[in-house]
């Protein structure tokens, strides 16, 4: 459902928000947690607008956000995520009025801070992190490497597959990632040796932020799932493929995944994404329909998201030469086999409780084409088809000094293009 806050003709009095190329026009209004760069000031919630941040804690303190006290904007987004979804929308409407041309925003001009002068932290304290496997293209590609005759296991089209990740090693964009050590083998049957991973990879994913709480033992029906989805950030689920290949059976990913996952700092709300909803994945003839508890009319007709994710790599040599990062792949969430609501509802279907600030990863977002494969394991087909960077360097997997940059945006005729900002990380050498 769109409203006046999605009207593409509305402009902001913040000039940079009207730049056609900005990720953060008036119609976006993503939330993040910031403080003055290099300071020890308390973290506070803000909204990105063009090249600026509007300080919501200060705005609430000055009474510019009726019904929202400054305490809601202290430290993290968890308190706001705990509010009912109707409050998220009310806040969007209030902030829109403050920042719109012709609105009531005069006093807010004193509360803007240039993004260049702030640092951003993880948007929420993340209690739990779950990573799904929602791209059937990714699952089929990966499966075909391990089981050529039986790439997709029989449960895939029935169960939104996921595993419990680790919240402690989630880091904000810009944090360097140290190449992990682990057990790897030359032959599938072993024996292993212990050393630095030589098959370090990224995974281009979307992270879905949970809002609200369901008590342990209760479920979230799929019709209620939208009110439990607060917003999205980019997620890079760094993966050590050689470690993964040896350790993953029978319980799934463990140390190959939990050494670091990078999250982009701005949370684009589900309300901002309303114009970019699309139908759930159209299952080909012969695929089973999802079970009833994973089906609603609304989710089938508009539960998908048409958001594009780009992955770029800039090697150390490229950065030293001032070269542009190289576009490695471009995928879309519209290719996901499961919707965010289906993932959330399935997660709670056994009575598992989800809390404000929990993070659900989509799994690697890959599509049907080579150019849409969201990790190097697929993009270079396990290293058998190396990429050539503009510098002439080749890549099967990531090398030390490589920077992985993910960007995402949504656009549709008649609506303002919005973006998610960036999710960045540079690979540091393994510890000696």
By CB under 5 A, which span of 8-16, 43-51, 196-204, 208-216 interacts with Mn ion? Answer: 196-204
Minimum distance, C-beta of residue 141 to Mn ion, in the bound complex (Å):
13
Cβ atoms of residues 358 and 126 within 8 Å: yes
Least Å from the CB of residue 178 to Mn ion: 19
- Residue 93 falls in the annotated catalytic set: no
Backbone angles phi, psi at 267, to 5 degrees: -100, 110
- CA separation (Å) from 99 to 11, 168, 220, 271, 419? 9, 36, 35, 17, 18
Measured from the CB of residue 375, what is the shortest distance to Mn ion in angstroms?
8
Closer residue to Mn ion in complex, CB, 237/403: 237
Smallest distance, Å, CB 103 to Mn ion? 41
d(CA 171, CA 176): 9
Among 23, 55, 201, 237, the residue binding Mn ion under the rule CB under 5 A is: 237
Contact with Mn ion (CB under 5 A): which of 128, 131, 310, 402? Answer: 131
Decide if 377 contacts 257 (C-beta within 8 A): no
Contacts with Mn ion by CB under 5 A: the residue count is 3
Residue among 90 and 169 whose Cβ is closer to Mn ion = 169
Separation between Cα atoms, residue 427 and residue 220, nearest integer Å: 39
138 within 8 A of 365, measured Cβ to Cβ: yes
Selected range binding Mn ion among 126-134, 371-379, 393-401, 408-416, rule: CB under 5 A: 126-134
Q: How far is residue 44's CA from residue 33's CA, in Å, rounded to a whole number? A: 5
Q: Which is nearer to Mn ion, 131 or 422 (CB)?
A: 131
Residue nearest to Mn ion (CB): 237
Site membership for Mn ion, residue 201 (CB under 5 A): no
Stretch that binds Mn ion, among 47-55, 105-113, 200-208, 340-348 (CB under 5 A): 200-208
Q: Shortest distance, CB of residue 336 to Mn ion, whole angstroms?
A: 13
Q: Residue 68 or 129: which CB sits closer to Mn ion?
A: 129
Q: Are 44 and 33 in contact (CB under 8 A)?
A: yes
Rounded to the nearest whole angstrom, what is the least distance from the CB of residue 235 to Mn ion in the complex? 8
Question: CA-to-CA distance for 432 and 425, rounded, in angstroms?
Answer: 21
Contact between 203 and Mn ion (CB under 5 A)?
Answer: yes
Q: Which residue's CB is nearer to Mn ion, number 236 or number 315?
A: 236
Give the residue with the Cβ less far from Mn ion, 226 or 363: 363
From 89-97, 149-157, 237-245, 411-419, give the range in contact with Mn ion by CB under 5 A: 237-245
C-alpha closest to that of 123 among 175, 73, 53, 76 = 76
Window of 184-192, 195-203, 262-270, 420-428 that interacts with Mn ion by CB under 5 A: 195-203
Residues 140 and 82 sit within 8 Å (Cβ to Cβ)? no
Closest separation in Å from C-beta 252 to Mn ion? 11
Give the residue from 52, 62, 8, 2 showing the smallest Cα distance to 32.
Answer: 52
DSSP per residue over 159-214, as a string?
S--EEE--STTEEETT--EEPPEEEEESSTT--EEEEE-S-EE--EEEEEEE-S--
Burial class (CB in 10 A: 0-12, 13-18, 19+), 256: buried
Nearest distance in Å: CB 239, Mn ion: 7
**SS3 sequence, 77-123?**
CHHHHCCCHHHHHHHHHHHHHHHECCCCCHHHHHHEEEHHHEEECCC
Binding range to Mn ion, per CB under 5 A, among 110-118, 129-137, 147-155, 418-426: 129-137
Instruction: Kindly name the residue from 6, 138, 346, 347 that is annotated as catalytic.
Output: 138
C-alpha–C-alpha distance, residues 335 and 338, integer Å: 9
Specify the residue, 87 or 175, whose C-beta has the smaller distance to Mn ion: 175
Query: Of 94 and 365, which CB lies nearer to Mn ion in the complex structure?
Result: 365
Residues known to be catalytic: 138
Binding site for Mn ion (CB under 5 A): 131, 203, 237
């Amino acid at each position: 459902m769109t409203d006046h806050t999605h009207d593409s003709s509305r402009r902001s009095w913040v000039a940079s928000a009207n730049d056609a190329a900005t990720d953060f026009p008036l119609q976006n209004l993503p939330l993040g947690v910031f403080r003055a760069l290099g300071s020890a000031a308390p973290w506070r919630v803000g909204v990105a607008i063009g090249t600026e941040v509007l300080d919501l804690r200060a705005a609430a303190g000055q009474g510019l956000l009726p019904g929202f006290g400054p305490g809601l904007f202290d430290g993290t987004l968890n308190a706001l995520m705990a509010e009912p979804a109707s409050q998220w929308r009310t806040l969007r409407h209030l902030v829109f009025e403050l920042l719109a041309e012709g609105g009531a925003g005069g006093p807010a001009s004193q509360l803007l801070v240039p993004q260049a002068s702030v640092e951003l932290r993880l948007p929420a304290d993340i209690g739990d992190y779950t990573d799904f496997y929602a791209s059937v293209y990714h699952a089929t590609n990966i499966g075909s490497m391990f089981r050529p005759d039986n790439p997709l296991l029989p449960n895939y089209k029935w169960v939104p597959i996921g595993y419990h990740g680790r919240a402690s090693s989630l880091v904000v964009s810009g944090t360097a990632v140290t190449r992990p050590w682990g057990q790897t083998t030359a032959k599938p049957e072993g024996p292993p040796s212990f050393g630095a991973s030589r098959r370090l990879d990224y995974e281009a994913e979307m992270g879905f932020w949970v809002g609200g709480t369901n008590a342990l033992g209760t479920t979230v029906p799929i019709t209620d799932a939208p009110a439990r989805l607060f917003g999205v950030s980019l997620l890079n689920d760094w993966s050590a493929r050689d470690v993964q290949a040896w350790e993953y059976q029978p319980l799934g990913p463990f140390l190959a995944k939990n050494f670091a996952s990078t999250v982009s700092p701005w949370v684009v709300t589900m309300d901002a994404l309303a114009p970019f909803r699309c139908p759930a994945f159209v299952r080909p003839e012969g695929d089973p329909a999802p079970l009833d508890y994973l089906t609603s009319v609304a989710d089938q007709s508009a539960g998908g998201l048409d958001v594009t994710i780009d992955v770029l790599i800039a090697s150390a040599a490229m950065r030293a030469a001032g070269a542009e990062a190289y576009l490695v792949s471009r995928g879309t969430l519209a290719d996901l086999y499961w919707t965010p609501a289906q993932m959330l509802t399935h997660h709670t279907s056994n009575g598992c409780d989800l809390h404000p600030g929990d993070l659900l990863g989509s799994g690697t977002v890959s599509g049907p084409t080579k150019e849409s494969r969201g990790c190097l394991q697929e993009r270079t087909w396990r290293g058998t088809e190396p990429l050539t960077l503009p510098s002439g360097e080749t890549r099967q997997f990531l090398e030390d000094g490589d920077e992985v940059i993910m960007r995402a945006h949504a656009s549709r005729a008649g609506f303002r293009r919005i973006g998610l900002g960036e999710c960045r990380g540079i690979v540091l050498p393994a510890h000696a």
